[in-house]
Structure 1
Amino acid sequence: MSAPRMITVWGRANSVNVMKVLWLLDELAIPFERIEAGGEFGRTRDPDYAAMNPNATVPTLVMPHGYTLWESHAILRYLCRTQPGGNAFYPEAPEARADVERWMDWTLASLNDPMRIIFWALVRTPEAERDMAAVAKARDAAARLWSIVDAQLEGRPYLAGECSIADMAMGGFLHRWFSLPVERPELPNLAAWYARLKTRLPYATRVAVPLS
């Protein structure tokens, strides 16, 4: 596969992990090409794709010089370190950077699993096949985790102070939490953060979209 002339993102637009990358690229005003892959579009198990990403997952980033990278959070960090304006979303100072990174890691290690269970059951599984007991358990786990985020947001506009790739890592799950038909505890800081993110055009157009 020849190197692209601009940044290329492989992955379907309704993937929560692809959304993170598209959001950052829009914030940085970087032109890019997106190629449909994953889910109904397939391609991820084709030999040429497997050569770039052996996990058969999306997104995969391909740079104009031919460098390829998979794993959405690694892509966010890489783009911030290599593209103009990226430092605004991924600070240099060790403590500030660690604060951003811990919320990125926490999203994957803690929040991802219960949110995945709820989303897949209520959006991508036929009603007759849904495990509602698993959904209820995951909803309770997610509510507890979102309360941690709500406490973190007390007195802060964004997770780590200013808007960063920590917000981008979690923002897709946040939209799903407020869009899924589940009972949610009243978390005012979380709701205010969600409202604030929706005023950012890249979030509104790439992330806060109908669930599918």
Structure 2
Amino acid sequence: MLTILGHAVSINVRKVLWTCAELDLEYTLDAWGGTSRSTSSPSFLALNPNATVPVLRDGDLVLWESNTICRYLAARYGDGALLPTAPGPRAQVEQWMDWQATDLNSAWRYAFMHLVRRNPAFSDAAAAEASAQEWNRRMTILDGQLAHTGAYVAGAEFSLADIVIGLSVNRWLLSPIARPELAAVAAYHERLLQRPGYAAHGANGLP
């Protein structure tokens, strides 16, 4: 039995939960972070010195970093559908996963922390507006890719790239910013809504 340490409000935990849903994997969600047990406790830090969720325990194996956990689950328990085994197709999926974790996340962080989380460390309204504009620019890049594939982020088939980016699309749609109309992103979101895993863990009203 897999154990996932985290809480279901976290966008990064939800990546892992959605991956488990796609792979039909059973797991136990052990509540840490948020309003649950502190990730700064010594027992948690022994598993992840970064004090962040999620953490995966699979037997003696302990992993942290949500995209890495998703890759592991797909490689260990999948049939190659979510994460191809051929080097080229796999690299295309992982390229977009890395883009989500670096370029896209970096773009939205200030705006989200200012407008949604109301974090006092992100109180500069001008910086938040600049962040929102960069967020929209990155989403326009995604729109172009989706218009090119006509289906999913890395091509014609659903993959791990869609799990990590689909949650980012959900965050973009729910955040209180001015957004351009991106037709390919809108159509993509409708496709994701047909997946039970996204309905349960992605489009659940949590930004």
The equivalent position to 2:104 in structure 1, one of 107, 111, 119, is 111
- The alignment status of 1:122 with 2:115, answered yes or no, reads yes
Please give the secondary structure, in 1, of the residue aligned with 2:204.
coil
Q: Which residue of 2 aligns with 1:74?
A: 68
1:126, 1:69 → 2: CA distance?
Answer: 29
Paired positions, count: 204
2:179, 2:136 → 1: CA distance?
Answer: 7
- 1:86 CA drift (Å): 4.4
Please give the secondary structure, in 2, of the residue aligned with 1:87.
coil
How many percent identity over aligned positions? 42
2:97, 2:175 → 1: CA distance?
Answer: 22
Task: Describe how 1:2-81 pairs up with structure 2 within 5 A.
Answer: 6-63=1-58, 65-81=59-75
CA pair 69-126 structure 1, distance change in 2 beyond 3 A? closer
- 1:39 CA drift (Å): 2.4
Contact 1:27 1:202 in 2 (8 A): yes
Q: Provide, for residues 23-62 of structure 1, a one-character-per-residue CA deviation record: whole Å limited to 9, x for no partner.
A: 0001111110101112222431111111111110000000
Task: Describe how 1:78-89 pairs up with structure 2 within 5 A.
Answer: 78-83=72-77, 85-89=78-82
Letter in 2 for 1:15: S
- The alignment status of 1:198 with 2:193, answered yes or no, reads yes
- 1:134 CA drift (Å): 1.8
Contact 1:115 1:173 in 2 (8 A): no
The equivalent position to 2:180 in structure 1, one of 170, 185, 194, is 185
Q: Provide, for residues 128-156 of structure 1, a one-character-per-residue CA deviation record: whole Å limited to 9, x for no partner.
A: x8432122101110111111100101142
- The alignment status of 1:159 with 2:153, answered yes or no, reads yes
The equivalent position to 1:149 in structure 2, one of 121, 137, 142, is 142
1:208, 1:19 → 2: CA distance?
Answer: 10
1:117, 1:86 → 2: CA distance?
Answer: 38
Contact 1:123 1:211 in 2 (8 A): no
1:114, 1:73 → 2: CA distance?
Answer: 18
Q: Which residue of 1 aligns with 2:93?
A: 100
Letter in 1 for 2:61: Y
CA pair 135-41 structure 1, distance change in 2 beyond 3 A? same
Please give the secondary structure, in 2, of the residue aligned with 1:148.
helix
Letter in 2 for 1:136: E
TM-score w.r.t. structure 1 length? 0.91
The unaligned stretches of length 5 or more in structure 1 are: 1-5
What's the C-alpha RMSD, in Å, of the aligned pairs? 1.6
1:46, 1:38 → 2: CA distance?
Answer: 10
Q: Provide, for residues 55-103 of structure 1, a one-character-per-residue CA deviation record: whole Å limited to 9, x for no partner.
A: 100000001x2211000111011111111x3411000121111110100
Contact 2:113 2:119 in 1 (8 A): no
Letter in 2 for 1:147: T
